[in-house]
């Protein structure tokens, strides 16, 4: 069986970021986050191969990608990297993926007191709703894994709030809580080494339960509602007169798509 490990940075153990900012490469913790992400990915990779996986693909997807030190990754993996992909999971369509693991993911935007919570871009969006429910990157990537590579999400690692949001939408997943959020930039952090041990055993557990994993879907057509941080953004989308987009208040646009792939 083949697997994809999608890697974000905000939910990696030990990471809390700094106030009023997204988590970028000028952050004091950026180097640590990349190094710890690498260790967490290598643990998950080892667990998958120890269980008998045939191939593991690592998708380096935080920010503009290119976060991980590829020479230090387990040399059995192939790496999906860079920007300008045709869609999320580009290049993996024909790889017969059995499961997707989300490592270092985080709670959705408009979650109070969750470490570095955001959806897609913390400087742009207050929330994204699909069919009237707010979603985060966990749900969006789970939907796109179904749509683009026909695979279920089987594992996530995140802070306690990201994990509980993930488990609500994807109750079959196995998970590891990397830290307990106290505020947007504060938490009670598990020791990063403890998290490595937990990832190894929880990923093995996910592999053993692969037959219980489900592909996440929602009803189509899909209503999309996006509330921007700045009203200029909502204004310019509505000024563009793209068919079917309506402005429901100065900050918020609404439109309908037939398939989740059309979200990007
Ligand atoms: Zn990120």
DSSP structure string for 5-17: EEE-STTSTT---
pLDDT of residue 239: 86
More confident site: 239 or 61: 61
- For residue 242, pLDDT over 80 is answered with no
Q: Are strands 125-130 and 97-103 parallel, antiparallel or unpaired?
A: unpaired
Give the integer Cα–Cα distance in Å for 174 and 209: 9
For ligand 1, the distance from its centroid to the CA atom of residue 41, given in whole angstroms, is 15
For ligand 1, the distance from its centroid to the CA atom of residue 241, given in whole angstroms, is 31
- For residue 241, pLDDT over 80 is answered with no
For ligand 1, the distance from its centroid to the CA atom of residue 243, given in whole angstroms, is 31
- For residue 79, pLDDT over 90 is answered with yes
| 139 — pLDDT class (breaks 50, 70, 90) | very high
* All structural domains of the chain with their residue ranges: 2-123+136-216, 219-264
pLDDT of residue 74: 98
Please confirm whether the linkage preceding 244 is cis (ω < 30° from 0): no
For ligand 1, the distance from its centroid to the CA atom of residue 9, given in whole angstroms, is 5
The neighbourhood of ligand 1, an ion, using CB within 5 A, equals 8, 10, 62
- For residue 107, pLDDT over 90 is answered with yes
For ligand 1, the distance from its centroid to the CA atom of residue 133, given in whole angstroms, is 21
3-state secondary structure of 60: strand
Tokens of 148: 């683009």
| 6 — pLDDT class (breaks 50, 70, 90) | very high
Give the integer Cα–Cα distance in Å for 120 and 105: 11
* Phi, psi at 141, each rounded to 5°: -70, -30
- Mean pLDDT score of the chain: 96
| 55 — pLDDT class (breaks 50, 70, 90) | very high
- pTM of whole model > 0.75? yes
For ligand 1, the distance from its centroid to the CA atom of residue 123, given in whole angstroms, is 12
β-sheet with 55-60: strand ranges across = 78-80, 55-60, 2-7, 97-103, 153-159, 174-183, 186-189
pLDDT of residue 52: 98
> Would you say 225 and 254 are in contact if contact means Cβ atoms under 8 Å apart?
yes
pLDDT of residue 263: 87
**Across 8-12, 29-33, 185-189, 243-247, least confident range:** 243-247
For ligand 1, the distance from its centroid to the CA atom of residue 192, given in whole angstroms, is 18
> Would you say 199 and 206 are in contact if contact means Cβ atoms under 8 Å apart?
no
pLDDT of residue 46: 98
| 40 — pLDDT class (breaks 50, 70, 90) | very high
3-state secondary structure of 184: coil
- For residue 264, pLDDT over 80 is answered with no
pLDDT of residue 185: 98
Q: What DSSP string runs through 232-260? A: HHHHHHHHTT-TT-EEEETTEEEEEESSG
> What's the gap between Cα 67 and its chain centre?
15
Q: Are strands 153-159 and 174-183 parallel, antiparallel or unpaired?
A: parallel
> What's the gap between Cα 222 and its chain centre?
20
| 12 — pLDDT class (breaks 50, 70, 90) | very high
Neighbours of 79 (CB within 10 A): 14
CATH of 2-123+136-216, one of 3.20.20.80, 3.40.50.300, 3.30.70.580, 3.40.50.10780: 3.40.50.10780
């Amino acid at each position: 069986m083949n697997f994809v490990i999608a890697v974000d940075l905000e939910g990696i153990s030990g990471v809390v970021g700094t106030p009023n900012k997204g988590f970028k490469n000028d952050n004091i913790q950026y180097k640590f986050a990349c190094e710890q992400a690498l260790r967490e990915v290598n643990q998950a990779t080892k667990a998958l191969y120890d269980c008998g996986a045939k191939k593991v693909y690592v998708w380096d997807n935080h920010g503009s990608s290119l976060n991980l030190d590829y020479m230090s990754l387990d040399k059995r993996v192939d790496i999906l990297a860079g920007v300008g992909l045709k869609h999320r999971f580009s290049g993996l369509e024909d790889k017969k993926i059995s499961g997707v693991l989300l490592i270092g993911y985080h709670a959705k935007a408009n979650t109070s007191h969750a470490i570095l919570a955001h959806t897609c871009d913390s400087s742009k969006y207050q929330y994204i709703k699909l069919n009237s429910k707010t979603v985060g990157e966990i749900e969006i990537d789970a939907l796109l894994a179904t749509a683009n590579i026909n695979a279920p999400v089987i594992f996530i690692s995140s802070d306690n709030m990201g994990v509980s949001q993930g488990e609500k939408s994807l109750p079959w997943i196995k998970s590891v809580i990397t830290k307990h959020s106290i505020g947007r930039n504060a938490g009670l952090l598990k020791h990063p080494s403890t998290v490595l041990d937990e990832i190894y055993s929880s990923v093995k557990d996910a592999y053993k339960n692969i037959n219980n994993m489900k592909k996440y879907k929602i009803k189509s057509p899909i209503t999309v509602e996006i509330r921007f941080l700045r009203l200029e953004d909502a204004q310019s989308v509505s000024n563009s007169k793209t068919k079917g987009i309506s402005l429901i208040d100065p900050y918020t646009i609404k439109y309908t798509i037939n398939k989740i792939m059309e979200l990007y």
